[in-house]
Amino acid sequence: MDLSFLRREFGERFVEDVDVALLYVRDASILESRAKALGVVFPVDEEEVVKLVRWAVAERVPLFPQGSATSISGNAVATSPGVVVSFEKMTRVEVDHVDGVAVVEPGVRLEELNHELARYGLFFPVDPGSVKSATVGGAVANGAGGMRGAKYGTMRDWVLGLRVVTGRGDVLKLGCRTYKCRNGYDLVRLFVGSEGTLGLVTEAVLKLAPVPESAVALLAYYDDLEALVEDVVRVKTSRIWPLFAEFLDAPTSALVGLEERNALFLGVDVNAGAEERLLERLTSIVRGEVAQRAVGWEGAMKLLEPRRRLFSGQVASAEREGGVLVVEDVAVPISKLPEAVSGLKALAAKHGVPLLLGGHIGDGNLHPATWYRRGEGAEKVERFLRDMAQLVLRLNGTVSAEHGIGLLKKDLVALELGEALLSYMRELKQIFDPHNILNPGKIL
């Protein structure tokens, strides 16, 4: 295999050092890549991405795109000797505050984008737990969701257009720069969440929203988890549209520095002047013990901070037990939340596995976590996960809400989709990436 092209085209931006490459062949999941990367390439513009892909096609070299490697389903793990493509040097941002869009390169971090947008009184609402490090390209590839999903949804709701380089080396301009766009098949939605298997994103047109005038939020504790879930359903049926509704079960609350009780984080954006009235209304609906209240946008976001430590708390708990953490990502209709939560607890007891529960309960997205010790217990966890999938599918839910499929969830998503639909997906993959060089082995 001739790497001289990469050395010549990219110079110091093609890194062959083995130790450096090891940092780029894995993500935040439990998986460790056994593949030795040929190197890491840092393109600076779309033209370089095109040259890279066309070289990879000619040489039949796999390319593994990577943002900030925060995914936890094995989406960014290298599965065979190939070249990692890091987009961290592609960070251009163009904001049009009149049109309400931002044209952004894939290496821009979501938090950095919102710092820039704050100058115009705008923000990009998608808010994953890893928002401080997650990149636009990674969020597009993964179809990311997050804390504000109860009100604002996921990346699929906020990406208007894309520029992508397919596995054929072609540049495609997808979607529009306008809010309304019906120009044929909706290929934007096909690429959002495709995990880099169909094309490499070089630019995204993002829809923006005005920063709310104000917000109110509360933290409430519950002795009974089912009562917490029922309160979320009560809020949703009271004509209140939460900005966020997040929860942690009692063991997880203790891990992030709160009381060892089930915790609900509930926030609503409001017009200035309406804060006290809405906070009083929320307090009258919620039957848990209200421990903290916050008024104002910044106060509401600060109240949510302990919830952002969910993943780190789960990791610490598993490591303390000498275990390997498995974090799941399922969603059910809001009306089915009580049944889903009680069912997950029953399944964990049935299979004798530990269970930590938390997630975006405002949109039905649960993140059950368990762990096993290396060399023992993996089979019990596998049986628990399969029964978990059957439970959420029986409740008209899905086995993957925002973490993607990657390597870890291929078996579970096959249960949900069935062979007929998977065969159509394989044909789509073949159209856009006929030589299977783009993030091979993921999803399918």
Which own/partner pairs from 426-434 qualify as long-range (CB within 8 Å, at least 24 positions apart)?
428/190, 428/198, 429/197, 429/198, 432/166, 432/167, 432/168, 432/198, 432/199, 433/166, 433/167, 433/168, 433/197, 433/198, 433/199, 434/167, 434/168
What's the pLDDT at 328?
94
- pLDDT value at position 77? 87
First to last CA, the chain: 27
CA distance 219 to 264: 6
Cα-to-chain-centroid distance, residue 379: 27
Fold match flag (214-308 vs 310-420): yes
Looking at the domain covering 4-86, what would its CATH class be? alpha beta
Give the chain's length.
444
Q: 270 in helix, strand or coil? A: strand
May I ask the CATH architecture of the domain 93-210? 2-Layer Sandwich (3.30)
pLDDT at 222: 97
pLDDT of residue 33: 65
Check residue 228 and report its DSSP letter. Answer: H
- Give tens-digit pLDDT for 97-154: 999 999 999 999 999 999 999 999 999 999 988 888 899 999 999 999 999 999 999 9
214-308 topology per CATH: Alpha-Beta Plaits (3.30.70)
- Which one is the CATH code of 310-420: 3.40.50.720, 3.30.70.2740, 3.40.50.800, 2.40.30.10? 3.30.70.2740
Per-residue CA distances from 397 to 150, 340, 367 (Å): 16, 9, 13
Q: Is 298 helix (H, G, I), strand (E, B) or coil?
A: helix
Query: Tokens at residue 350, please?
Result: 């049935």
103-113 pLDDT tens trace: 999 999 999 99
User: Which residue ranges make up each domain of the chain?
Assistant: 4-86, 93-210, 214-308, 310-420
pLDDT of residue 34: 67
pLDDT of residue 68: 85
**Tokens describing residue 217:** 């939020």
Q: What is the pLDDT along the chain (444 residues), one digit of tens a residue?
A: 789 999 999 999 999 988 888 888 878 777 766 677 899 999 999 999 999 999 999 999 999 999 888 888 888 888 889 999 999 999 999 999 999 999 999 999 999 999 999 999 999 999 988 888 899 999 999 999 999 999 999 999 999 999 999 999 999 999 999 999 999 999 999 999 999 999 999 999 999 999 999 999 999 999 999 999 999 999 999 999 999 999 999 999 999 999 999 999 999 999 999 999 999 999 999 999 999 999 999 999 999 999 999 888 888 888 888 888 899 999 999 899 999 999 999 999 999 999 999 999 999 999 999 999 877 778 999 999 999 999 999 999 999 999 999 998 999 999 999 999 999 999 999 999 999 999 999 999
